[in-house]
Structure 1
């Protein structure tokens, strides 16, 4: 690799993948790198906020699989951003398969607290079915189109066989628990319903070992540390991009022109597009001239991108058990195993599966994080904060049977109505395959073209073949596209490099 490379590289988006790409390129000797960011901040879907005095995560919450292979974990450790227990070898060795073994409390809509052991058979059966759902990817020949369809059809059969001796009330409650677990999976996958998640591609997602951990000082600390190592002024904030003109034949030396909303036109050799898939789905036709090739566009459409929002709720004192880590709310009229609410405007709160407990209590006080996905979550964003508070208060009073519980304050995320993200993260939709993820990361112009190579490159969580929807996936794709350019320039001899710049 030449000591310094004078190629002009523009990165669209200052989320973790854009920042990671810039880092890598600068370290490899590229001198002309800049990031264009539509908003006033770096970090994208990594966003830390405050609830009273508490630090809470509006966006990315955990390091999923904190182990040596996870670059987010390694960077967080390097910058000293983690708790000592997150760094222990025992913590890194725990393989939870993406579902941490949290201590649950179960409450029902008639105000009963259930014995968690009674729900274990449902939990185990659901866990088995999730594992089975992910096995079709390697074999093919899946029996139905979606994960939701598969789980429901199998549950009906297995519950009838295995629980025939169980009394009707317990059996019904277990089916309500399955409905709740489907809602949990909607949050995990960022989908409206598990009926929208493709069964054939569900197993493409891979987990890393390690018990998920959080950042005591907030996830944004990672972004701040990375940004502090970049030259000042590298990012231009409040600079939305209107259009990427590629395959520009008039100026041989700059095949890409980036036209900004404010009217500025920036000539570049390469552009790395790191915008969220939600934004791409909505704006691809205006964003690229010429348009995206058809196969790439079809993959953008086939991949799913949904909404998962949080509602943080603070209380004066806890109403859950001291060792409790997650609270599940079971509606007793939901034994039909459907994860969608029939009347979104009147019953959106029924999609909220429950709460995770923010730990340790010494740090957070008594704060719960409610989780809600899908169209109900999108609707939740549109109602007033007062209405959200009212709904959450009524919900908790109903499920605990305690009419005096009153939240001190709440804070919610609103990712669907964020104009630059249009949702939360990606998942493989129905009919999706590994080919779609390969199409997502394919640079333009496509192979075989005689045009100037690697004009438009694509990074971001939705372009990772097995870590989509994660921060480490996003970071790795930023490195991947930077490496693609680095190896392109290392394979060019210095004389050719000189000519290409004349």
Structure 2
């Protein structure tokens, strides 16, 4: 009898311990900006029964600030975009961590002849006016088709009496298509819809963190900065290296939970609700295996239709800087003959190297911006081959004017090849426009069977209908889903 009582007591103990350890009201999948935002909103409203499962060995998601050279480099998000009603700006504006963008010197590099400053300004302004002012009734199916048509018409009129400048302007076309890919996060501008719902926030679009890194924003959200003593109790809730393999969202589990979150390492966590904040790239790649049962057709269509690509950065650190002190940006404008030569030699990936810019807050560092079809290939190349390509480009465009030295260090972003991201950020694809797909279809929660009660919530930049592809957009969605959770429990 005593043995039976002892065994019963042990069973109760282990059952209670199991439930306390693995059963929560809420599990948040992902500790990026949207996941952290949701967690901070919940904690500030005394909702504490949750954990965050993070697949990486770090927090931040596509905010990735790392030491490099003698400063901090952002391999992911870099700029705070806009000021009025921007949650990032509003959160940190009084802490003297953001600095306004300095126009500095913009240079278009061209091997046939030196480009006058006024021509550079004219051609860059023309790009801005076409790209930033797409007509509502545009008939073209893609942004590439729209831009090329209007840009070609404009330069033909602008330089009709100057064949030399007209040739240069035509050679700028491919560079600007690459710039569009860089801004939108697509591999090819022919896949981008000219119709989009993005709303630019007024104010400086390129405010930087003055060498402190974008991680500063997350530290402020979690109240770790400026006073660590006021930090929210969030660190103990974040479990790193917990890659979620499956969300079983319509099962009756032994402990009466409604959702089973299964990790790749075999661990399972149970919750009444779950907020999924993984990137759209991860959803695309794992669409058939990540959710059981399969997601509703409207959500599947949203995941498939919304565009998601990648851009890349290459950071170079030199013992001594060799570029002009006031330089802001140098753009590489290839001639048609140069393009043909590279393609014939299997080196077309060089054409995806668009620009170089000094790193703010780190005088001895340059950043190369990479965008286009070959980004996935470039991510797989060894550093030696990357440096060989950079040497070729610098020799072609810069050697005659600068005493270029070899970099001491190289650091690269590889968002597309990383299985926990599979890209940089989302964009409006032509498929979205053709199928009338809305981002709200991705952001709407899944409901308990035969009820109006939500069970699985979705956050992340791709679910934001107006501020996608931004940190402030991702943060807004984290707050949005946390508010849904709070409202749900407030009404119970």
Q: Tell me the residue number matched to 2:225.
A: none
Q: Distance in 2 between matches of 1:442 and 1:126?
A: 36
Describe the shift of the 1:124–1:29 C-alpha distance in structure 2 as closer, same or farther (beyond 3 A): same
Describe the shift of the 1:76–1:343 C-alpha distance in structure 2 as closer, same or farther (beyond 3 A): farther
Describe the shift of the 1:415–1:7 C-alpha distance in structure 2 as closer, same or farther (beyond 3 A): closer
Whether 1:82 and 2:85 are equivalent positions in the alignment is no
Whether 1:422 and 2:417 are equivalent positions in the alignment is no
Q: The residue matched to 1:31 in structure 2 has which SS?
A: coil
Q: Tell me the residue number matched to 1:97.
A: none
Q: Distance in 2 between matches of 1:379 and 1:217?
A: 31
Q: Deviations over 1:186-232 (max 9, x none)?
A: 1111111211111122x534333235222221122333444442344
Q: How far off its partner does 1:452 sit?
A: 6.7
Q: The residue matched to 2:132 in structure 1 has which SS?
A: helix
Describe the shift of the 1:435–1:205 C-alpha distance in structure 2 as closer, same or farther (beyond 3 A): farther
User: Is 2:40–2:234's contact at 8 Å kept on the other side of the alignment?
Assistant: no
User: Is 1:126–1:178's contact at 8 Å kept on the other side of the alignment?
Assistant: no
Query: Aligned runs of 1:239-318 on 2, under 5 Å?
Result: 239-249=242-252, 253-318=256-321
User: Is 2:39–2:234's contact at 8 Å kept on the other side of the alignment?
Assistant: no
Q: Distance in 2 between matches of 1:320 and 1:52?
A: 17
Q: How far off its partner does 1:327 sit?
A: 0.6
Describe the shift of the 1:225–1:132 C-alpha distance in structure 2 as closer, same or farther (beyond 3 A): closer
Q: Tell me the residue number matched to 2:442.
A: 440
Q: Distance in 1 between matches of 2:119 and 2:76?
A: 34
Describe the shift of the 1:451–1:250 C-alpha distance in structure 2 as closer, same or farther (beyond 3 A): farther
Q: Distance in 1 between matches of 2:106 and 2:31?
A: 37
Q: Which runs of 5+ in 2 are unaligned?
A: 1-22, 223-230
Aligned residues: 456
Q: Tell me the residue number matched to 2:348.
A: 347
Q: Distance in 2 between matches of 1:145 and 1:59?
A: 30
Q: The residue matched to 1:312 in structure 2 has which SS?
A: strand
Query: Aligned runs of 1:63-462 on 2, under 5 Å?
Result: 63-65=80-82, 67-77=83-93, 80=95, 82-83=97-98, 85-86=99-100, 101=103, 103-110=105-112, 112-133=113-134, 135-136=135-136, 141-165=137-161, 167-201=162-196, 203-215=197-209, 216-227=211-222, 228-249=231-252, 253-333=256-336, 346-359=347-360, 363-402=361-400, 405-409=404-408, 410-433=410-433, 435-445=437-447, 450-451=450-451, 453-462=453-462
Q: Distance in 2 between matches of 1:320 and 1:20?
A: 39
Q: Tell me the residue number matched to 2:58.
A: 41
Describe the shift of the 1:161–1:365 C-alpha distance in structure 2 as closer, same or farther (beyond 3 A): closer
Q: The residue matched to 2:314 in structure 1 has which SS?
A: strand
Describe the shift of the 1:204–1:62 C-alpha distance in structure 2 as closer, same or farther (beyond 3 A): closer
User: Is 1:352–1:373's contact at 8 Å kept on the other side of the alignment?
Assistant: yes
Q: Distance in 2 between matches of 1:288 and 1:430?
A: 26
Q: The residue matched to 1:421 in structure 2 has which SS?
A: coil
Q: The residue matched to 2:49 in structure 1 has which SS?
A: strand
Q: Which runs of 5+ in 1 are unaligned?
A: 1-5, 92-99, 493-502
Q: Distance in 2 between matches of 1:431 and 1:229?
A: 42
Q: How far off its partner does 1:30 sit?
A: 1.7
Q: The residue matched to 2:48 in structure 1 has which SS?
A: strand
Q: Distance in 1 between matches of 2:129 and 2:141?
A: 19
Q: The residue matched to 2:283 in structure 1 has which SS?
A: helix
User: Is 2:28–2:51's contact at 8 Å kept on the other side of the alignment?
Assistant: yes
Q: Distance in 2 between matches of 1:335 and 1:473?
A: 40
Q: How far off its partner does 1:464 sit?
A: 0.7
TM-score (structure 2 length as normaliser): 0.86
Q: Distance in 1 between matches of 2:437 and 2:429?
A: 13
User: Is 1:145–1:431's contact at 8 Å kept on the other side of the alignment?
Assistant: no
Q: The residue matched to 2:207 in structure 1 has which SS?
A: coil
User: Is 2:34–2:478's contact at 8 Å kept on the other side of the alignment?
Assistant: yes
Q: The residue matched to 1:114 in structure 2 has which SS?
A: coil
Q: How far off its partner does 1:176 sit?
A: 1.8
Describe the shift of the 1:481–1:318 C-alpha distance in structure 2 as closer, same or farther (beyond 3 A): same
Q: Distance in 2 between matches of 1:245 and 1:376?
A: 37
| Moved segments of 4+, more than 6 Å | none
TM-score (structure 1 length as normaliser): 0.84
User: Is 2:181–2:371's contact at 8 Å kept on the other side of the alignment?
Assistant: yes
* RMSD over equivalenced CA pairs, Å: 2.6
Q: How far off its partner does 1:324 sit?
A: 2.0
User: Is 1:315–1:367's contact at 8 Å kept on the other side of the alignment?
Assistant: yes
